[in-house]
């Protein structure tokens, strides 16, 4: 882990009368000299392109003591106070600068004594254009500390307080993994009480192949269903043996709306499950945790059919997935090209 001091150290001496009284010290007199030594790390640091993520950063403090003394004064000179953390967008690695959007500004971490504190969370969005690799994330770290304490008999300690600004780094890994785009070719309106068949493309826009890939669609509104009216389903899925990087698979799905469905636009959630190149099964997150693309279904009222015109919509899905199911379910059919 790199830790580079960039800015300044400003020292001020606080007069004895301006500080609160402290317990009597065993030693007659002396000076304790030291400083905090802060480093950053992120343990859960593996992410994929096209992902909204949280960088959970820990601050560790391995304080330095140049001249020792009473333990309470050594603790004073090694503790960082009023610690602030801010990712330096303008110093990101060139390969990451255009593809990382930091959504969290400065974080106040409080006091950091010796040991580890955190995690402190930065919300970010990683673009699909970011190449897989290991990246060092620069963080401006600002804190107050005491670099010396003079003490003696029958007098209050004298503190030399300072402020420091430095740049510290933590490491993140953008993994080589599949990414999926799901797009509907012929999204037209569905008359209430009727069905329509859509043709859907699934493209692996990532950098790694996916095997045993299953696209899963679901609708929350009970008046919208997959399949025919004799066997309506709230979810459907289609299985592909493998999807190589850049490859597009196509399948069809039948969507219906019952007679009482109000005209409007309804959304279907899309998930992808797959096995990665290392043989590990993965699965996409739930939509309230990680945003996935949604496929729109427009329902047309029976008495308004003469006014409707098909409109094209596009859904987009970024997902990582995990587990295997049956090959056919509900109203979907694959075209494994």
Instruction: Read off the pLDDT of residues 261-289 as tens digits, 9 standing for 90 and up.
Output: 888 888 888 889 998 777 888 876 433 22
Dihedral over Cα of 324, 47, 41, 103: its sign = negative
Residue 70's pLDDT is: 94
Distances (CA, A) of 133 to 12, 26, 45, 173, 177: 44, 55, 12, 6, 11
Place of tokens 């290991």: 134
Please tell me whether the peptide bond between 119 and the residue prior to it is cis, using omega within 30 degrees of 0. Answer: yes
Residue 177's pLDDT is: 82
Provide the pLDDT confidence category of residue 65 given band limits of 50, 70 and 90: very high
- Say if residue 8's pLDDT is above 50: no
Q: Are strands 294-300 and 190-191 parallel, antiparallel or unpaired?
A: parallel
Scanning the chain, the segments in alpha helix (DSSP H) are 71-78, 94-97
**CATH 2.60.40.10 fits domain 3-174:** yes
| Whole-angstrom distance, CA of residue 165 vs CA of residue 143 | 7
More confident residue, 81 or 333: 81
- Say if residue 291's pLDDT is above 50: no
In CATH terms, the fold of domain 180-335 is Immunoglobulin-like (2.60.40)
DSSP for 141-201 reads EEEEEEEEEEEETTEEEEEEEEEEEEEEEEEEEE-----EEEEESS---EETT-EEEEEEE
- Say if residue 330's pLDDT is above 80: no
Of 7-16, 195-204, 234-243, 297-306, the one with minimum mean pLDDT is 7-16
More confident residue, 174 or 188: 174
Q: Delimit the domains of the chain by residue range.
A: 3-174, 180-335
In terms of average pLDDT, the best of 93-107, 137-151, 173-187, 231-245 is 137-151
Of 86-95, 184-193, 230-239, the one with minimum mean pLDDT is 184-193
What are the φ and ψ backbone dihedral angles of 306, each rounded to 5 degrees? -75, -15
Dihedral over Cα of 202, 203, 206, 210: its sign = positive
Q: What percent of the chain shows pLDDT beyond 70?
A: 76
Domains 3-174 and 180-335 are alike in CATH topology:
yes
- The token duo for 227 is 């399949």
């Amino acid at each position: 882990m790199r830790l580079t001091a960039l800015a300044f150290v400003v020292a001020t001496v606080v007069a004895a009368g301006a500080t609160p009284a402290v317990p009597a010290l065993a030693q007659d007199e002396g000076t304790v000299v030291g400083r905090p030594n802060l480093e950053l790390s992120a343990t859960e640091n593996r992410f994929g392109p096209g992902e909204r993520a949280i960088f959970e950063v820990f601050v560790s403090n391995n304080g330095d003591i140049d001249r020792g003394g009473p333990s309470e004064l050594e603790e004073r000179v090694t503790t960082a106070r009023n610690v602030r953390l801010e990712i330096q967008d303008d110093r990101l690695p060139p390969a990451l600068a255009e593809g990382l959007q930091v959504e969290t500004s400065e974080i106040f971490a409080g006091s950091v004594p010796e040991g580890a504190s955190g995690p402190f969370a930065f919300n970010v969005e990683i673009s699909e254009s970011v190449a897989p690799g290991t990246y060092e994330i620069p963080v401006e770290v600002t804190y107050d500390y005491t670099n010396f304490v003079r003490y003696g008999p029958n007098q209050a300690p004298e503190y030399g307080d300072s402020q420091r600004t430095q740049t510290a780094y933590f490491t993140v890994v953008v993994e080589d993994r599949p990414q999926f785009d799901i797009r509907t070719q012929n999204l037209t309106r569905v008359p209430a009480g009727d069905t329509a068949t859509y043709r859907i493309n699934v493209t692996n826009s990532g950098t790694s192949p996916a095997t045993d890939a299953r696209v899963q669609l679901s609708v929350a509104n009970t008046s919208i269903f997959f399949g025919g009216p004799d066997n309506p389903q709230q979810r459907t899925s289609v299985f592909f043996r493998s999807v190589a990087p850049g490859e597009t698979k196509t399948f069809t799905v039948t969507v219906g709306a019952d007679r009482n469905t109000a005209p409007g636009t309804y959304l279907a959630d899309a998930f992808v499950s797959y096995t990665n190149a290392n043989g590990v099964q993965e699965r996409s997150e739930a939509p309230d945790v990680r945003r996935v693309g949604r496929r729109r279904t427009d329902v047309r009222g029976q008495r308004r059919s003469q006014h409707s015109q098909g409109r094209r919509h596009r859904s987009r899905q970024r997902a990582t997935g995990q587990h295997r199911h049956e090959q056919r379910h509900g109203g979907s059919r694959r075209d494994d090209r």
